Structure 1
Amino acid sequence: MANNSLLEIKRSLEPHVGAKVLLRANGGRRKTIERTGVLEETYPSVFIVKLDQEQHAFKRVSYSYADILTESVEVTVCNDEGQVRIEYLQQ
């Protein structure tokens, strides 16, 4: 069942490859890290975000789909119509 959930999250991210995204990640000890970048690629287990160069020291970050499932990472896609939040909704 968890595999199907991860596959659903991956499929919901795939159409947004190349789009600008906002990441909110759990940084530990009550810290939340916010980063902006472009969703660069989706792989079977992880997705890669190329970060904005002027704002961040790293060029790319990767997160697993399980991070979204466990709500450790929140991905918001910024497009022309507004913002779309990628999340897993349990049924």
Structure 2
Amino acid sequence: MGKTLIEIKRELDANVGKRISIKANGGRRKTVERSGFLEETYPSVFIIKLDEQQNSFERVSYSYADILTETVELTVFDDENPLVSV
């Protein structure tokens, strides 16, 4: 059964501040993998603060529709153990 945008937002709201791993479609058959912390959620987007050692920029944002359409795959970690995949 598919999730709705509201369910995705609620799930992310509950995990603000936790470690997160992102696998995103970078276009032209490229996949981008990043990690950081779920910093904030807004009505249409969520913000991830990226690890400074791995990335040249601090933050990235995605919409909940990116998760719904499977353009972005998220894994939330709780003390370095996978907690939930969104």
Same fold (TM over 0.5): yes
Count of residues in Structure 1 that have an aligned counterpart in Structure 2: 83
User: 3-state SS of the aligned residue for 1:11?
Assistant: helix
Q: Which runs of 5+ in 1 are unaligned?
A: 87-91
The residue number in structure 2 matching 1:36 is: 35
Alpha-carbon separation, structure 2, partners of 1:73 and 1:29: 15
CA offsets 1:40-67 (integer angstroms, 9 cap, x no match): 0000000000000011011000000000
Query: What letter matches 1:51 in structure 2?
Result: L
User: RMSD between aligned alpha carbons?
Assistant: 1.3
1:80 offset after TM fit, Å?
Answer: 2.8
Runs of 4 or more consecutive aligned structure 1 residues displaced over 2 Å after TM superposition: none
The normalised TM-score by structure 1 is 0.87
Report the equivalent of 1:73: 72
What letter matches 1:17 in structure 2?
V
Whether 2:85 is the aligned partner of 1:85: answer yes
Identity fraction in percent: 64
TM-score (normalizing by structure 2): 0.91
**Distance of aligned partners of 1:40 and 1:71 in 2 relative to their CA distance in 1, 3 Å threshold:** same
SS at match of 2:4: helix
Change (3 A) 1:56 1:81: closer
Q: Which has the higher helix share?
A: 1
Instruction: Tell me the CA shift for residue 82 of structure 1.
Output: 2.4
Q: Distance in 1 between matches of 2:34 and 2:64?
A: 17
Give 1:61's aligned residue: 60
